[in-house]
Amino acid sequence: NISEDDIKEAEQAVQEDLLRMSNEKYTLSFSIKEVLYSETATKNVQNFYATGFLAQEYTQNNASLKENLIAIYVNYECEYDHTLTPNEDGDIQCYIFVLRDLSTGKWNVWDRSYDLKKFGKSGSSDK
């Protein structure tokens, strides 16, 4: 099971990733509105990857995705210099998927989805 400490560490990994994004040379402004663990999206993303390469890798190491993959709902507002990046700006909502490194135990940003309906509730977190 995912502990409260796991959730805090995953949220911290996401905060650090967002800070990195805010410091990119193409970022003109960046404001974090919300960073929250999403139980619904976590279950959905775990089920989505349950039979793929990721699950096989963890199974080979006697681990489970249910203990090592977390979805964090993020809402931020940003403005980018479009001469330097094609990234969309504005009010952004997404799920950031955080995966525990089995060798270090550290939580790292692994992937993200801007399709809120695919993994969770549309436009809201469910903490």
pLDDT greater than 90 at residue 90: yes
The string of pLDDT tens digits covering residues 17-50 is 999 999 999 999 999 999 999 999 999 998 888 7
In this prediction, residue 26 carries a pLDDT of 97
Report CA-CA distances (Å) from 45 to 11, 17, 31, 76, 84: 16, 20, 26, 21, 32
pLDDT greater than 90 at residue 72: yes
Please, are residues 73 and 34 in contact by the beta-carbon 8 Å criterion? yes
In this prediction, residue 53 carries a pLDDT of 73
SS3 content of the chain, % helix, strand, coil (to 5): 35, 30, 30
Whole-number Å distance between alpha carbons of 42 and 28: 31
In this prediction, residue 127 carries a pLDDT of 45
Tell me whether residue 60 is exposed, middle or buried, using C-beta atoms within 10 angstroms of its C-beta: 0 to 12, 13 to 18, 19 or more. Answer: exposed
Our measurement of the distance from residue 9's CA atom to the centroid of its chain's CA atoms, rounded to an integer in Å, reads 12
Whole-number Å distance between alpha carbons of 122 and 127: 14
Given pLDDT bands bounded at 50, 70 and 90, which one contains residue 61? Answer: low
pLDDT greater than 80 at residue 62: no
Given pLDDT bands bounded at 50, 70 and 90, which one contains residue 122? Answer: very low
